[in-house]
Amino acid sequence: MLREENIWGIFVPVVTPFSTDESLDVTSYDRYITNLLAHDIQGLIINGTTGEAPTVSWEEVRELIQRTKVVMARKGKSIPLVVGTGTNDTSSTVNRTELAREIGADAALVVVPYYSRPSQEGIFEHFRRAAQTGLPVISYEVPSRTGVHLSANTAAAILALDGVVGMKDSSGGTELFTALKRLGVSKPILCGEDANFLAMLSQGAAGGILASANLRTELFLETYRQFRDGKTIQAANSFKSLAPLIDLLFRDSNPAPLKWLLSHQGTLASDALRPPLMPISRELGQQLIKELGSFGISDGD
């Protein structure tokens, strides 16, 4: 089980590879996870936004967890596996969180309920019930996707729950984070907005859950280590070199550009997504090809 003291550094949210017929591509997944585990990352997020969670069945989630554990055993590594279990239905979220615990997840990533636009009281109750499952919960604030903002007071109340061990902050800035610090919140908060990673580290964030860290993983880790060791100028320079990549990776809906790059360099056999997500435009692909060299990403062609 994931504990507060183990929530730090770089957690990588993984993509879910599909074949061109939209079936799960387990061969690519094994190769992809093997590559990620070559780096000293602190955890993996399975079935999150980057993993196209709305289109992935629970049986597929189960297989991804099992295959990840097999790859970790083969590599002699053991890092936390966090599984996205949140929906906009509290009962379903509780059920999925219980299932994640049963199949070996170390924690659940539970998003603020989307679409329904519940009250702050309803949001708190949603997390209270999820936190009672026995699986540690990381709360996930991402108003650009949920349609509702989590107030600082509600976020602090959620973080005060015994079963909640931390938070992923994708609120779009540092305002929520600084408000929580003023309220005396001490549980770890991870940056979920890639472009804000260094700014949030500067405010005291424990690390990040960063889709961009699927690429140039070592440089993201180096940025974190440099900042942790007080080498703030070096960290700023390292992060500055990552900024163009981060920008391009979010010019289309995540994970479309990321999957394109992973397939272009040969990690994935295909950049296939499940509808309603669609592959990136030719124009964006041309931009990415042009920038591959400066990103230090090998061209698979």
Just list the catalytic residues.
Answer: 140, 168
Structural tokens at position 68: 């990840």
Which residues fall within 8 angstroms of residue 127, CB to CB, at 6 or more apart? Answer: 110, 137, 139, 158, 161, 164
Strand 9-13 and strand 43-46: pairing?
Answer: parallel
Residue given tokens 């994931």 in the structure block: 2
Cis ω before 279 (30° cut-off from 0): no
DSSP per residue, 169-191: E-SSSSHHHHHHHHTT--S-EEE
Nearest Cα to Cα of residue 155 among 174, 173, 177: 177
The distance from CA 185 to its chain's CA centroid, rounded to whole angstroms, is 22
In whole angstroms, how far apart are CA 115 and each of 118, 147, 229? 8, 6, 41
DSSP per residue, 237-284: HHHHHHHHHHHHHTSSSTTHHHHHHHHHTTSSS-----TT--PPPHHH
Is residue 11 classed as helix, strand or coil in its secondary structure?
strand
Long-range contacts of 279-288 (CB under 8 A, 24+ apart): 280/252, 280/256, 281/252, 284/248, 284/251, 284/252, 284/257, 284/260, 285/260, 287/248, 287/251, 288/248, 288/257, 288/260, 288/261, 288/264
Distance between CA 253 and CA 122 in Å, rounded?
Answer: 29
